[in-house]
Chain A
């Protein structure tokens, strides 16, 4: 490894030369046995120098000491060589005083780390054995139909599983839909029949109605699925799965407060839909016409009669149903009370159109009391309306908005995954499939399985159709990437995956538990077995392993440890402290770059080492850093908790647990636990980063120099 042919390409442009002594960096490279070249701009035509060296076989590992690895990625993608980027621009020249000896030391250390890494990384060999070009769609509602149609049109074989006897889902039960295009007036008919016909006409689609999933095992590119159908058990292999399992109304007993189940003329929007489909809005008590209908949307009280989240669908449904009332009986009045009404985007025009009907009367308000009058009519007392104090109405029918609860949370066995971590998709506290909501809304925590439609988020027909299309795109992308042995996301195209040095495995199983994506199974000997295509290459298993047997070709405890140890630690006089910052490359590292771009200065004593996820940091790295003589270690991760920012779900939380143990270890080494600090950094926090890092450095400096220096 050490005799690898490394080329060090030191750039002097973008004010690097003004900040540091480039000659000294070049000398360091030469001393380390590298082929050294300099240029005022390697990102321009001089990038050819690098390519030529590699093409001639003079260099196998390239070290580009220039700008951040987050920029010019295309320029420095050199075929035939591994490439290390040493960030002399954003994190040295732009964020530290020019010409200062500490700035120079920082640049030298970064180059040492880069060369060290270049010498140790290997090129990953992709895993390409799972490549079935077929998609399983679970659920034949609008989202599922749309997903199946789009995947099939793209040439993928599609298998649709629907538990009902016919395709169409909820759309079959609707009377009309609210308008989906300009001018957003009127109520167009339901068109699901046409889509079903279109889907059935496609040759590469197999449809199993009245069926369910018995089991799913395997990985993206090669899921073995077993279906329970009317014709018996069907086995198949697919490359990706779309879970469009839909929704169901929230249990009605929650609405007892409003008289549901107590008074015959209190009903739900789902029941009203069926009524309208029969062509009449009637009083259930006597079948007489309902001339005064009150619709009640979630009034924002937040009591337990409501779902813990709100959606705009119920607003749109109530507006639509108010028009049913008016259309089926022009003499009828529709009252609509709401906490707030949500008609996102162009649906604002639909709201306008409904308001323009003189017989639809809307107001904010809360129901105080519902009671029955003589003939099962209902007296409704309201508060908080904008009509003035104390409002009461007598109505024939009260319609409560049905909450849409996702089927992911409530129906056991919809997916029936044979995964160690559980049969179903991990869900949020709201019951929707868990995923990094901001960056990857369609992803679930099971790679290759995408949720779509109302199972993912309460949505209307148009949105569900859109959602199905999007999920189909993700599923196809997943199959293509898996076939090529590449990660789908977030490390798109990454071909590395973890390897296990099984001779040393203690079968503790921690890696199988901590993997956020359930990529690891246990075999009969209770040893971990990787499903490479389920893996997202975050390295959390690598951070978890107590005996450090998990590594990637280009990312391992060894490589990181060697990089840490390559840093020169000055004398223990307290003048030049050294702090190691292990920074999440998704948030903290870009935030540091942003600080540099904005020319914000932070302590030059900090050596930043990017990691795939802060959860991939193995405790031993902290011990190594402290043993090496670093005065402190900062672990820069992402926001954890309910609204987590982590691309890999809970890297920061896992790390925090490890660090609790770590602090004990430090205690045994007679070192102060304050030397190790965990900080959550969001990318948008870059402006506060200097003061955070200054405080952190001050706190560590206060503890005093590391007594282990020089050992």
Chain B
């Protein structure tokens, strides 16, 4: 099959603009693909992604599972003889692909440009203010013991966030499906059973096997991003899952058992929430530290990286702040902080498929696709080595 190439220099410039300007240095030696702990003989990367971007071959670069199979350990950048920093290019491609596959498209654009940030905040603020106005709570802060439900009754919070999560899921499914069909289009051969692959991938995600591979199968002695990534991401991942579980439990408690908040600190769900939040805080702190202190190894950080990290950190921080202020009985601070916290959580959830948070959609999709391809060819028996 011969495909006539139509270089898209605008795409190339966009990727370069996402802090990947060194990609022009690449001379295709393939060292990066050889040293990558997660790439495979079947589907080596990131060498081919480098030249696709150099040539502005947008479709080839975006309709490939490789960019999301990469876990950004930075080994390729550490060993690149020309300092072309392939890891930065892969990260830039991921940023770009989130915007590219975003459905509706506007959110993708909005999340990747700082100028839309006020608008993105304005939406949840307006909704929350509208709710407050509807409830007549705009006039002043509730009196007495601090109970956040006095400001936003549980029903409204639940309803709002059920809708928010619903929208997020729809956006994620649409984006994931577009990515999936792009990959299918680029590579015509069929895959294996979806459900088998899904089971394997979930196991893979839960034990962070790909991150661990960067530690278990180090390529050489050069310092890379690899050693901290497994532990830190594990902390953030389980911290986040813990908080989701906490929120879900609270919802269940209120609705089915009329067990109204606030719950006492000794309550197991409360403990889970606090522990998860702490894990998340520690993990995020380490990520911040690496992004700032070790740029060379971690790769450059784009707007999307910072936005994601800061919003997540602020959400966790305001969550803890609400809890502390409530216990300290500082109503004048506690209620506004709660308002901010709800805004941030809304931001996180609704914009999930369009922000860097969208990686959980696209990476999962890529892993599913790659896994089902491999299964179809009977190449792997063990779910723990996805890339082999």
Contacts and interface: CB of A to CB of B under 8 A. Distances in A.
A685 B48 CA distance: 44
A392 B7 CA distance: 12
22 contacts: A333-B7, A333-B9, A341-B27, A352-B24, A352-B25, A356-B24, A358-B9, A361-B7, A361-B54, A361-B55, A361-B56, A362-B54, A363-B55, A386-B28, A387-B5, A387-B48, A387-B51, A388-B60, A389-B1, A392-B2, A392-B3, A394-B4
Looking at chain A's contact residues, the main secondary structure is: mixed
A389 B7 CA distance: 16
Given A333-B9, A392-B3, A393-B4, 6 more contacts: A361-B7, A387-B48, A387-B55, A388-B48, A388-B52, A394-B4
A357 B24 CA distance: 8
B28 A390 contact: no
Interface in B1-54: 1-5, 7, 9, 12-13, 16, 24-28, 47-48, 51-52, 54
B57 A387 contact: yes
Contacts of B13: 358
A390 B24 CA distance: 23
B2 A386 contact: no
Nearest to B13: A358
A47 interface: no
A351 B13 CA distance: 19
Given A358-B16, A361-B54, A391 B5 contact: yes
Contacts, number: 60
Contacts of A359: 9
A387 B3 CA distance: 11
Interface string B51-69: 1101111001000000000
A449 B54 CA distance: 49
Q: Which 8 A-B pairs have the closest CB atoms?
A: A390-B2, A355-B24, A356-B24, A386-B28, A392-B2, A392-B4, A361-B55, A390-B1
B7 A387 contact: no
Interface in A347-403: 351-352, 355-359, 361-364, 381, 386-394
Nearest to B54: A361
Interface string A85-105: 000000000000000000000
A381 B2 contact: yes
A546 to B, nearest CB: 60
B5 A393 contact: yes
Contacts of A352: 24-25
Contacts of A393: 4-5
Contacts of A364: 28
Nearest to B23: A355
Interface centre among B9, B25, B55 (most CB of A within 10 A): B55
A359 B54 CA distance: 9
A381 B28 CA distance: 20
B250 to A, nearest CB: 51
Contacts of A356: 24-25
Interface residues of B, number: 24
Contacts of B12: 358
Contacts of A387: 5, 48, 51-52, 55, 57, 60
A359 B2 CA distance: 23
B88 to A, nearest CB: 15
A386 B24 contact: no
A242 B101 CA distance: 67
A184 to B, nearest CB: 14
Contacts of B54: 355, 361-362
Given A363-B55, A386-B48, A387-B57, A358 B24 contact: yes
A389 B27 CA distance: 18
A341 B82 CA distance: 15
Interface in A676-697: none
Contacts of A388: 48, 52, 60
B270 to A, nearest CB: 54
Contact of B5 (A351, A355, A386, A392): A392
Contacts of B26: 355
A384 to B, nearest CB: 12
A386 B51 contact: yes
A386 B60 CA distance: 13
A386 B26 CA distance: 12
Contacts of A391: 2-3, 5
B24 to A, nearest CB: 4
Nearest to A348: B82
Contacts of A392: 2-5
Contacts of A389: 1
Interface string A541-554: 00000000000000
A352 B81 CA distance: 13
B281 to A, nearest CB: 42
A362 B50 CA distance: 12
Contacts of B1: 389-390
B43 to A, nearest CB: 12
A387 B49 CA distance: 9
B33 to A, nearest CB: 11
A387 B24 CA distance: 15
A46 B114 CA distance: 87
A353 to B, nearest CB: 9
A364 B56 CA distance: 16
A366 B55 CA distance: 17
A388 B60 CA distance: 9
A394 B4 CA distance: 7
Interface in B151-199: none
B86 to A, nearest CB: 14
A392 B6 CA distance: 9
